[in-house]
Structure 1
């Protein structure tokens, strides 16, 4: 009986130790959960900048700080949120996907002579990372469009860039005839410059601030202007291009024939002058000599001339 009692006590002691270990592990897990809720950490990629906003139960959801690009394990408060935005060069391209197909996305512009043209556009830029400007962009545009996400960023560009590009091209397109924009590089360059100027005027007014800088902006230099380029405006009616090419071929053929006629006239005048100088017989003789039909030899006066006489080969009988 004594042995059984000792054994039971030992088992009870071991069970108590095991229970304490399990209880301690559970307490540790609970403590870690509490700590992770109290202490929050944020990371940013090398090409992203973070906006840190409060979100705890005892504070307002207000801007706190900027999280620099490439940050790791940045300690933030419980419930706080960091919104990431790109700082590298970005683009908005109309006519990129399927650009070589007939149904590619294009901006439609009506020329001065009422021809509908398709225009493909490329805009290159960077996000202004000045703290106050970036904070304003996030609160006015970013939160509304979820621009801190990839899909939201694309939606933001479509919502704010595209309408202003359409308006800019429409405003300046009516100053040019379609053939000028299609064939004249100087006119196309002037059209692009005017459209870029109009777009850079319209965009800040539409978004509410100078939120976008040029592609060379690094955060430490001047903001600069966005890069705005267009490809050759092309009539949507392909028959217009065919007609232009046919007209150009006809004009080229006409110019070639006129050049040939001019050459013939020059040659004819030369013949008339030679006939007047040599007479008709003299001109014919000169022409025959030049063509090789008549061969002659100049014999020096009082000179001895040896003329080779062809010999006939003889065959000796055997």
Structure 2
């Protein structure tokens, strides 16, 4: 009896041990399984580039991970590089994200005046696979543009030099005063600078990696939005001189208007003297000014004129 009981206990312990061991083996298997695979997710405003990174495969491009993806299964060691697909900006001289706020672009005008120019460029990244893949491999990896700091470095390295070159090439075609206070000339300058920048940027980066701000991935790429603020002389004394000159010109114009008015009045006097004679004109002027008063007396009419009574001096 005792012997049989001992055998039963031994069998029960063995069963429990097998169950615990099976659970442990299952957990270990799951850990190994999950270590062999990765899961990738992307934000709604970012697109992912999936590259292999396993021990037994090359680090080559595999696929595009669409914006807003959740828990996409990828291989062990694989990596996702995420890039923004919403509207972006690069601003020189200002404050905010993606802004080079250290200075302005310096432009030398046709008449050799140094001008400070603030520039705003608005754009989106071209998300088509045949474009964004070479962008990542040629520029993104080098500048780490898939990171926030790397993105700013990419803009500083590739956008800023081309903006400087575009403004420098176009600025010498205009006098500084034209760019400062002539809206038509400023608009021409902006259009020409935008055209030059649009030509220079693809050549510098190696492709049409950037589209206009209205690009959504399903429409035409479009041109980048390039705007400039009023170019301002770096020497503020030049502006003071221009304002003083403008005040003098306004004063001269006001004096000319006064002189023209006097001439008109003088011509009128000459015409009246020629028609009325000198005495007649003087009499007319005296009547109009109220210095001479007169009354119209009807023909054969009786008129009573009050005679003032002299005041009597009291005795």
Q: Measured at CA, do residues 204 and 297 of structure 1 come closer, stay the same or move farther in structure 2, by a change above 3 Å?
A: same
2:313 is matched with which residue?
none
Q: Which residue is 1:148 aligned to? A: 146
TM-score, scaled to structure 2: 0.87
- Counterpart of 2:173 in structure 1 is 175
List structure 1 runs of 4+ shifted beyond 2 angstroms. 5-33, 292-311
Does residue 284 (structure 1) correspond to residue 282 (structure 2)? The answer is yes
User: How far apart, CA to CA, are the structure 2 residues paired with 1:189 and 1:34?
Assistant: 64
Moved more, 20-29 or 174-183: 20-29
Q: CA deviation at 1:289?
A: 1.9
Residue 278 (structure 1) shift: 1.4
1:195-252 Cα distance to aligned partner (Å, 9 max, x none): 0000000000000000000111111111111000000000000011111111111111
How far, CA to CA, are the matches of 2:184 and 2:215 in structure 1?
29
Measured after TM superposition, the shift of residue 299 of structure 1 is 3.6
SS at match of 2:86: coil
User: Where does residue 189 of structure 2 map in the other structure?
Assistant: 191
Distance 1:105 1:147 in 2: 23
The alignment covers a number of residue pairs equal to: 305
Please report how far the alpha carbon of residue 93 of structure 1 lies from its aligned counterpart in structure 2 after TM superposition.
0.3
Partners of 2:20 and 2:282 in 1: CA distance = 127
Unaligned runs of 5+ in 1: 312-318
Residues in 2 aligned to 1:219 and 1:119: alpha-carbon distance in whole angstroms: 32
In structure 2, the CA distance between the partners of 1:306 and 1:51, relative to structure 1 (3 Å rule), is farther
Alignment correspondent of 1:316? none
Distance in 2, Cα, partners of 1:180 & 1:252: 19
Is the contact made by 1:50 and 1:67 (CA closer than 8 Å) also made in structure 2?
yes
Inter-partner Cα distance in structure 2 for 1:11 and 1:259:
124
Distance verdict in 2 for CA 1:267–1:30, change over 3 Å = same
User: How far apart in 1 are the matches of 2:78 and 2:116?
Assistant: 47
The change in CA–CA distance for 1:283 and 1:67 in structure 2 (over 3 A counts) is: same
Q: Does 1:97 find its partner at 2:92?
A: no
2:129 corresponds in structure 1 to 131
Structure 1 position 91, deviation (Å): 0.4
CA distance in 1, matches of 2:112, 2:5: 105
